[in-house]
Amino acid sequence: MVEFNQKHIVGEPAREYEDMDDITRRTLNVINNATGEQNSPGPCEVGTAEKSNVELLDAYSRAVITVVEAVGPAVVSIATGTRPKNAESETGGAGSGVIIAPDGYILTNDHVVHGSKSLAVSLTNGTTHAAALVGTDPATDLAVIRADSANVPFATLGDSASLHVGQLVIAIGNPFGFQSTVSTGVVSALGRALRSREGRLIENIIQHTAPLNPGNSGGPLVDSRGRIVGLNTAIIMGAQGIGFSIPSDTAKWVVSQLLTLGRVRRGYLGIAAQQRPLSRRMSRFFNLTQASVVEVLSVTQGGPAAQGGIRKGDLIVAMNGTDITTVDMLQKFLSDWPIDTPVKVSVLRVQERLEIDVKPSEAGAHE
């Protein structure tokens, strides 16, 4: 126990207190970034040689901040069920959405708004607006609603076809009522197939590593320029670092159908499919210039494809002479092709190229 006496108090400290004063002085110098003694060890910090890497991380942080500040105002919280009478007391929401036009059109997930009797959207500026359902497409888990407001901030739908594995992406949403919750990651895979909560197979999904929460459903996945490249749709419960988004190219097509027709009218082949790279050997063997094809994963019994003779494992390379390289291209072709009109499907099967006549029916007729 240290004992203080009058001698210490009047300014004649013992030697150990002189040492303690020196330690305190040196500590204060270090805390205030003053020059230390030559023989003292240096601080544990990044050296000059490594500062270039730190500057890169700083640039990365600034890029994320810039994107969030630009896109954040277009991300909304969507509340379903009973419309809150007092907007200030509303703290939660069923999910997220992103405004895609200044007239209040909002893109979100079908499962966010499915079965709701009323809709309300909350913007980052604190205002809440009533919203109406424009249309839904359960096959892609997409929906469009319209807020009762005009001249609102909106985000741009980008080009998901230009995405590459390893590319930086930023997920923005409103999980559990927290506005502009942000996470970052990279694209880890393209062209995935995912079953929805209702058991539907959603094709051509973007897999990424940006952490998601359930409330992120309907929020945008954006690139480093702030363009929407996907719409967050699901997470695998219990898995770490696995998120999925619907490509923006799919969203563009679905939105155009919903705005013009009120529903998505598409031809139905009765297959599940995914994009697959085409090897150089097969390209040379079949004299093809395309880099990818659409692989048939399964064929629905009794469906148009089964009736025409398409099999599991077939590689679709063209429809009526039009090259097909992605599932999006196949869906778009079927949306433009007249229902119940035969179409010639070019497929690769082992070492043969076959031309198979298939008569697409309207999607939904077999459900």
Q: Which of 77, 122, 217, 346 is catalytic?
A: 217
Closest CA to 167 of 207, 213, 211, 204: 207
Do 74 and 99 meet the contact criterion of CB atoms below 8 Å apart? yes
- Domains in the chain with CATH codes: 73-147 (2.40.10.10), 160-261 (2.40.10.10), 267-362 (2.30.42.10)
DSSP-derived secondary structure for 115-129: T-S-EEEE-TTS-EE
Decide if 336 is catalytic. no
Q: What is the pLDDT of residues 33-88, one digit of tens each?
A: 665 555 566 666 666 666 677 777 788 888 889 999 999 899 998 888 744 455 44
Query: Among 111, 245, 248, 346, which one carries the catalytic annotation?
Result: 111
Q: Are 174 and 112 in contact (CB under 8 A)?
A: no
* Residue 131 exposure: Cα atoms within 13 Å on the Cβ side: 32
DSSP 240: S
pTM for the model stands at 0.67
110 is catalytic: no
Q: Answer yes or no: 346 catalytic.
A: no
DSSP 8-state assignment for residue 278? P
Return averaged pLDDT per consecutive 10 residues of the chain, 367 residues in all.
46 49 74 62 65 76 89 89 50 76 92 86 87 89 90 90 92 73 91 69 84 83 93 72 88 90 85 92 93 94 94 96 90 84 95 95 68
C-beta separation of 250 from 260 below 8 A: no
Please state, as a whole number, how many other Cβ atoms lie within 10 Å of the Cβ of residue 151: 8
Return the closest-CA partner of residue 291 out of 157, 160, 161.
161
Q: So what's the pLDDT on residue 79?
A: 87
Catalytic pick among 77, 110, 137, 141:
141
The DSSP H or E segment spanning 353 is: strand 352-358
